[in-house]
């Protein structure tokens, strides 16, 4: 069941989103060769609790950290740890969620570590752009799969692998609510978008094959061909005019 949020609920989600984005900003500032993903996790945890919120992911289905930190061929759900150290040329996808007064924000960004190969930078930029291609269809009256189609079509036009095993999702009182939002598919299907729907849209795009595998820790997911993967996500709300992005920090240049 898709729940439509009231203005009061959206206000709380705006705050959850602001805190999620604030934690992203703090992590981004710390990213450099030599830092461990454990340290990045601590920075995000402190940022979230300092704002009166709780990390959404910590203990979610047993997940042991506040963020996912997924380097290069790790697609999603990389578990922060002291031994995983960033090095020059890496890309790292950071996924963060925060609960504020019972409502969640969820967002992901992929960052460069030092100097990154042009081919990989393009993957990161186009993954972000695929989110915005989907967003063009986020308005009342459109169908959910119009967003999915726009994301997948754009990413596939570069020959990238569009990951199918993970989707975006509704969000609100729960981190994952209906509907699932695939990053591919035919347009014109699925629920009609309505004002008050809150959605986490999150393209996950691979340089090579779309196929992925989950490692023995039950979380870490890598590409099958070990080529890099990028992730970009925001929580949005459908408005009368179209949408509002909730996971941004005051002053954040979100679409550059």
**Site for Co ion, rule CB under 5 A:** 106, 200
Q: Is 188 left (phi over 0), alpha (psi -120 to 50) or beta?
A: left
Nearest to 147 by CA among 195, 190, 209: 190
For ligand MF3, the closer of residues 119 and 217 by Cβ is 217
For ligand MF3, the closer of residues 114 and 218 by Cβ is 218
For Co ion, the closer of residues 79 and 116 by Cβ is 79
Contacts of 111 (CB under 8 A, 6+ apart): 28, 31, 91, 92, 93, 94
Residue 95 near ligand MF3 by CB under 6 A: yes
Site for ligand MF3 in 210-249 (CB under 6 A): 233
For Co ion, the closer of residues 36 and 220 by Cβ is 220
Residue 177 near ligand MF3 by CB under 6 A: no
Which position among 6, 50, 60, 101 is part of the footprint of ligand MF3 (CB under 6 A)? Answer: 60
- Quick one: which segment of 32-40, 47-55, 60-68, 188-196 binds ligand MF3 (CB under 6 A)? 60-68
Q: H or E segment at 250? A: none
- Least CB distance to ligand MF3 at residue 43 (A): 17
Distance CA 228, CA 199 (A): 26
- Provide the H-helix boundaries in the chain: 7-30, 37-50, 118-135, 144-156
Which position among 27, 68, 74, 230 is part of the footprint of ligand MF3 (CB under 6 A)? Answer: 68
User: How many Cβ atoms sit within 10 Å of the Cβ of residue 119?
Assistant: 10
* Burial label, 112 (beta-carbon count in 10 A; 0-12, 13-18, 19+): middle
- Least CB distance to ligand MF3 at residue 169 (A): 6
The residue ranges that bind ligand MF3 (CB under 6 A) are 57, 60-61, 63, 68, 77, 95, 106, 108, 169, 200, 233
């Amino acid at each position: 069941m898709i729940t439509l949020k009231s203005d009061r609920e959206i206000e709380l989600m705006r705050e959850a989103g602001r805190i999620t984005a604030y934690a992203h900003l703090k992590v981004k500032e710390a990213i450099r060769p030599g830092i461990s993903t454990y340290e990045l996790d601590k920075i995000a945890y402190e940022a979230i609790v300092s704002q009166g919120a709780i990390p959404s992911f910590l203990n979610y289905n047993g997940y042991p950290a506040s963020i996912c930190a997924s380097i290069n061929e790790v697609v999603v759900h990389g578990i922060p740890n002291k031994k995983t150290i960033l090095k020059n040329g890496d890309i790292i996808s950071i996924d963060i969620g925060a609960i504020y007064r019972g409502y969640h924000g969820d967002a992901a960004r992929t960052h460069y570590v030092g100097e990154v190969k042009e081919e990989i930078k393009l993957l990161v930029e186009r993954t972000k752009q695929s989110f915005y291609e989907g967003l063009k269809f986020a308005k009342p009256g459109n169908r959910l799969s119009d967003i999915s189609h726009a994301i997948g079509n754009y990413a596939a036009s570069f020959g990238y692998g569009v990951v199918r095993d993970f989707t975006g999702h509704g969000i609100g009182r729960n981190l994952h609510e209906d509907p699932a939002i695939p990053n591919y598919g035919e347009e014109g299907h699925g629920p009609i978008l309505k004002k008050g729907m809150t959605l986490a849209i999150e393209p996950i795009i691979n340089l090579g094959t779309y196929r992925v595998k989950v490692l023995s820790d039950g979380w870490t997911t890598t590409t099958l061909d070990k080529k890099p993967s990028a992730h970009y996500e925001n929580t949005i709300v459908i408005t009368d005019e179209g949408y509002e992005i909730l996971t941004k920090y005051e002053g954040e240049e979100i679409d550059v």
